[in-house]
Structure 1
Amino acid sequence: MNIRRLENSVLTGVTVIAAMVWVFPLYWALVTSLRSESRVVARPGLLPDEFNIGNYADALFNTQLLTWYINSVGTAFIVTAVVIVISMMCAYALSQINFPGRRLLYLIVLASFMIPSQALVVTQFILMDQFGLINTWGGIILPQLIVPVTIIVYKQFFDSVPREMREAAVLDGGGDYAILFKLFLPLNWGITTALAIVTFIGVWNAFFWPFLVITSEDMMTIPVGITQVNDAFGLAYARLMSVALLAALPVVLAYLIFQRRVTEAVMISSGVKG
């Protein structure tokens, strides 16, 4: 019994330390963003000693932060919606419909999952240039629609659904689209929500590809726009921290709102529940 208590105490201590290590950069960014630039440079300290929201006002009104928000939200929502729908449909076909070349197609999906996205950057950039999509939302969105891992996750879930359910729906006269969206989709709302959140966060935080394909400041997304704030104002630490916190705010809110769904999805996919 004492050994069990000791183990629990050690695990609790390790968890607390890990949480503090993770939270400290966020705390430091918040404290820095609320200080004046002269205070940050002259005598930085760990404890909050100033409450200056001028940096946030500068970020909102003296940069194109709101435009970058619109670009990031728009592209992230479009990519998330398209990826979820096409991945679900593709996974349903691979899992539930017998057609020639199904196994070969699934092997191609698996192989594409193993190829690093950076290896496709040159080809994608040439294609976007030929299509005239450089410096457009289309140029940001199209290459990010390739998310094979979403197809794989959906297929694994669809494979676990009893065949009798689909057969009963077919006998009732249901087509594949009706079966997918009226039967299979309600069964996997948790997984769909989790995949949507992960995809949204990934697109929101994407830097490398938008940095390559966007050339004008009014088309930039949040991660790329932050670099322009740094270039425009030099090493303005307080202002830069305020922009970074404002940029991260939607992602944090999305996770806080949907964290229960994400937890349920992880439990379902791991076989603990259901």
Structure 2
Amino acid sequence: MTTMTPVTPPRPTAARNAPSVNGAKLFNRLCAVCLTLFALIWLVPFLWALATSLRPDGSITENPTSPFAGGWSLHAYSYAWDNYPIGSWYLNSLVISVLAVVFTLAFGSMAGFALAFLRYRGRGAVVALVAAGLMLPSEALVLPQFIEYRSFHLLGTFWALILPSVAAPLSVFVFQSFFRGIPVALIEAARIDGASWWRVYATVCMPLCRPALSTVAILTFITSWNSFLWPLLVLNQTKSQTIPVGLASLVNNSNIQYAEVMASSVLGFLPLIAVFLVFQRQIVQGIATTGIK
């Protein structure tokens, strides 16, 4: 006598997974809508400045709300470039930002490495001081820094703009967070092989922290390029000014040339847009990697 074994029907896994799949699609669409709205909010001022810079000053005064009134031309860009030292401002901002990036990467990575791996007396106090640096606004440090750099006779030089950005608490915490994500067994293996802490830092940790390096470099470059208050107080010569300070000097209360001011502004933030578009993948990867524990 043969016995028939009952065949169990397959479980409706597709029906069970359907609500989760639909919920994920709805969430992705909601995120896409939110990102599009935020992108439009950020793009509208840029497009408005670009359209205003291409219009004649007379049409801007007569009809400021219409971006197509009066036609478009590149006269404002040629006028701003020929009558203002924008090239010198570009060079000054580039030199200051690049040197600030180099020194910040060097000293910030060493400080983050020390806080992540080394154990020494007073380490908690150092961490507290770095955290206090994150809480203090930069405006509160203007007067002490001004007195300090005046005593060192550094006012009017680029070093007065480069050195304050070297001790950036944010860069120290980014490197510390990334170094903590490196497996401890890798560090211990290098130490057992006889490597010094300096060799561990240079040959083991630094090649692995490229995302953190790119993130800190881009954020430092943008912060240094956009700095306004401190360069305004430190640099007193017109040709030694940076892009933000130089653009602010173009605004005259008696006669504002809207097209020239907007053209200079567009020329000022075009490098930042180029840096972000080229290195946006490194920014996202660095921020995501440093946040993983």
Q: Assess same fold via TM > 0.5.
A: yes
1:206 aligns with 2:227: yes
| Equivalent in the alignment of 1:18 | 38
Corresponding position of 2:264: 243
In the alignment, which residue of structure 2 is the partner of 1:144? 165
Q: Is the 8 A contact 2:108 2:166 kept in 1?
A: no
Matched, 1:63 2:88: no
CA contact under 8 A between 2:149 and 2:160: conserved in structure 1? yes
4+ runs deviating over 6 angstroms:
none
Larger displacement relative to structure 2 (3-12 or 170-179): 3-12
Distance 1:9 1:257 in 2: 26
Secondary structure of 1:46's match? Answer: coil
Does the C-alpha gap of structure 1 residues 179 and 58 become closer, same or farther in structure 2, counting only changes over 3 Å?
same
Matches within 5 A, 1:182-193: 182-193=203-214
Give, in whole Å, the separation in 1 of the partners of 2:81 and 2:116: 48
Q: Which residue in the other structure is 2:132 paired with?
A: 111
Superposed CA RMSD in Å reads 2.2
Residue 31 of structure 1, aligned match among 39, 44, 51: 51
Q: How does 1:167-186 map to 2 (within 5 A)?
A: 167-186=188-207
Structure with the bigger percentage of helix = 1
Per the TM alignment, residue 214 of structure 1 is displaced from its structure 2 partner at its CA by 1.4
Q: Deviations over 1:87-128 (max 9, x none)?
A: 100111121122222222222212222222221111111111
Q: What one-letter code is carried by the residue in structure 1 that aligns with 2:37?
A: I
Q: TM-score, normalised by structure 1?
A: 0.91
Q: Secondary structure at the match of 1:98?
A: coil
Identical pairs, percent: 30
Task: Give the partner amino acid of 1:70.
Answer: L
**Quick check: 258-267 or 44-53, which moved more?**
44-53
User: Once structures 1 and 2 are overlaid, which stretch shifts more, 39-48 or 116-125?
Assistant: 39-48
Counterpart mapping for 1:38-77 below 5 A? 38-44=58-64, 45-47=66-68, 50-77=71-98
Q: TM-score by structure 2 length?
A: 0.85
* Deviation (angstroms), 1:36: 1.4
- The secondary structure found in structure 2 opposite 1:226 is helix
The answer as to whether partners of 1:95 and 1:159 remain within 8 angstroms in 2 is yes
Task: Return closer, same or farther for 1:13/1:144 CA change in 2, 3 Å cut-off.
Answer: closer
Mean Cα displacement is larger for which, 171-180 or 194-203?
171-180
Secondary structure of the corresponding residue to residue 154 of structure 2: coil
Is 1:222 the equivalent of 2:240?
Answer: no
Provide the secondary structure at the position in 2 that maps to 1:218. coil
Judge conservation of contact 1:206–1:223 (CA < 8 Å) in 2: yes
Q: Conserved in 2, the CA contact under 8 Å of 1:29 and 1:241?
A: yes
Structure 2: gaps (5+ residues) = 1-18
- Tell me if structure 2 keeps the 8 A contact 1:31–1:48: no
**1:217 match: secondary structure:** coil
Could you tell which deviates more after superposition, 37-46 or 248-257? 37-46
Q: Which runs of 5+ in 1 are unaligned?
A: none
> Where do residues 97-108 of structure 1 align in structure 2 (5 Å cutoff)?
97-108=118-129
Number of the residue aligned with 2:255: 234
Q: How far, CA to CA, are the matches of 1:266 and 1:186 in structure 2?
A: 17
In 1, the alpha carbon distance for the partners of 2:121 and 2:58 equals 68
Change (3 A) 1:105 1:48: same
